[in-house]
């Protein structure tokens, strides 16, 4: 349900940082992505997204049209609800970041090992 209050909760930088943390809870294939609106439309909660405004979208299915769209205002509200006075969110986001980093390092070692093994064969 749209509201009459369009006051942003976070600055663009703060919202971007919080969305990055939120994305740690999703796979690399379906994160929330900032997008510039090419036309006027409404988000999932009925808030207006005007042409040229940044909004957030997340692909949530196999079909091209399976996309969830949230205005910056709605995304701010969502992350506010999830993070305000919730120290566990930051703790979990930090741990997920560490796990992703460890995974990426392990993958890089595998690639380097394969490269070194192929270099020895030639």
Q: Which helix (H) or strand (E) segment is 121 a member of? A: helix 87-121
- The model's pLDDT over 16-38, given as tens digits with 9 standing for 90+, comes to 999 999 999 998 889 999 999 99
CB 89 within 8 A of CB 17: no
Q: What is the predicted pLDDT for the residue at 29?
A: 87
- The model's pLDDT over 77-119, given as tens digits with 9 standing for 90+, comes to 999 999 999 989 989 999 999 998 898 898 888 887 666 666 6
Q: What is the predicted pLDDT for the residue at 113?
A: 64
State the Cα–Cα distance between residues 53 and 40, nearest whole angstrom. Answer: 9
Residue 1 has pLDDT above 70, yes or no: no
**What is the residue extent of each domain of the chain?**
1-84, 86-122
What percentage of residues in the chain have a pLDDT greater than 70?
Answer: 86
CB 55 within 8 A of CB 32: no
């Amino acid at each position: 349900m749209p509201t009459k209050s369009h006051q942003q909760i976070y600055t663009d930088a703060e919202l971007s940082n919080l969305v990055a943390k939120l994305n740690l809870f999703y796979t690399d294939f379906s994160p929330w992505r900032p997008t510039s609106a090419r036309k006027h439309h409404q988000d999932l909660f009925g808030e207006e997204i005007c042409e040229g405004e940044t909004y957030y979208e997340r692909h949530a299915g196999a079909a091209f049209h399976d996309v969830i769209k949230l205005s910056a205002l709605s995304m701010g509200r969502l992350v506010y609800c999830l993070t305000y006075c919730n120290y566990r969110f930051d703790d979990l986001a930090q741990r997920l970041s560490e796990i992703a980093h460890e995974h990426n390092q392990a993958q890089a070692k595998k690639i380097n090992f394969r490269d070194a093994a192929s270099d020895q064969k030639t």
